[in-house]
Structure 1
Amino acid sequence: MSAIRPTTVEVETSLRLVTPDAMGLPVRASLRFDPEDPYAVHVLFHAESATGEPVGWSFARELLVTGLDEPAGIGDVRVWPWASARGDLIALALSSPDGNALFEVPRSVLVRFLRRTYIAVPRGRESEHLDVDTAVTRLLAER
């Protein structure tokens, strides 16, 4: 018999890009969690770009969890609670050499997404899902 492997968790949602005029722009995005990369979450932005390709960011799942209740992150990715007239939201700030962006994410979407990730890979059990040999082989092959 083969072991049952956890499945990838993916949620399609709409984030709001906060603009200087406070009007904001909706941005389609995918939240993704792959049990083979159990410490990370991935956000894929489906914004129209010069290349037409989605833009992806990856960061620690724990950063997202902490950011639900208090400011978290230093540097390129920061997350914190953000209450507004539009409801209970989470701020997601991203920085890169190309620029900065601030998004509003519905808190309920993140909570549901994170619950599903913890069903796939429970908190504290991430190391059981790592294939270190494959990861090292991939790293060495990139040289």
Structure 2
Amino acid sequence: MITVIEQAVQARLVATAPKVETVPVTLCYDRSDPFAVRMAFPAPATLEGVEVSWTFARELLESGLDRPSGRGDVRVRPYDADRTTVEFHAPEGVAIVLMATAELHRFLERVSAVVPPGLEHLYLDMDHSLAELMRGGR
């Protein structure tokens, strides 16, 4: 059974300059962390020159395809009929990327086949999580 889904997508990095660059982004979902998705940016696309990953709620990505969602470090909203905006807020600044909504829907469909929405709690390993929490307290 598939437990991890990775999907490469193209994103357009929106900058203050008129040129908009295409950035390869990897979307990742791991059934062992059923409420989260991860979006990884390659080293050449980051200020630090190292790969940067953002992990945020799967539900945020789902809801952001239809309406503005999020108030924290990650915000998702429709841009037009074909594209979705994902904003990443950090102390260094804000990164805004445009992604094809169809690609995000395709990723979420694959994720739903692994863990159906609303059933994420059934895939949590509470014993493991509690053991990790207790180990960190020592």
TM-score normalised by the chain length of structure 2: 0.91
State the superposition RMSD in angstroms: 1.6
> 2:25 touches 2:40 (CA, 8 Å); kept in 1?
yes
Query: How far has the Cα of 1:28 moved from its partner?
Result: 1.4
The residue type equivalent to 2:34 in the other structure is P
The residue type equivalent to 1:24 in the other structure is V
The partner residue of 1:36 within 7, 15, 32 is 32
The partner residue of 1:23 within 19, 22, 26 is 19
Number of residue equivalences:
136
What does 1:1-143 align with in structure 2 at a 5 Å threshold? 5-48=1-44, 49=46, 52-83=49-80, 88-143=82-137
TM-score normalised by the chain length of structure 1: 0.88
Measure, in 1, the Cα distance between the counterparts of 2:97 and 2:4.
24
Measure, in 1, the Cα distance between the counterparts of 2:47 and 2:14.
20
Note the alpha carbon deviations across 1:81-138, whole angstroms, 9 max, x for none: 012xxx7100000001122100001101000000000000001111111001111222
Secondary structure of 1:92's match? Answer: strand
Note the alpha carbon deviations across 1:46-100, whole angstroms, 9 max, x for none: 13246643100000000000001100000201000012xxx71000000011221
Note the alpha carbon deviations across 1:5-40, whole angstroms, 9 max, x for none: 442111011111101123211111100000010000
The residue type equivalent to 2:56 in the other structure is F
Poorly superposed stretches of 4+, deviation over 3 Å: 49-52
Secondary structure of 2:61's match? Answer: helix
Where structure 2 has 5 or more consecutive residues not aligned to the other structure, the ranges are none
> 1:28 touches 1:47 (CA, 8 Å); kept in 2?
no
> 2:83 touches 2:100 (CA, 8 Å); kept in 1?
yes
> 2:3 touches 2:32 (CA, 8 Å); kept in 1?
no
Secondary structure of 1:73's match? Answer: coil
The residue type equivalent to 2:32 in the other structure is E
Where structure 1 has 5 or more consecutive residues not aligned to the other structure, the ranges are none
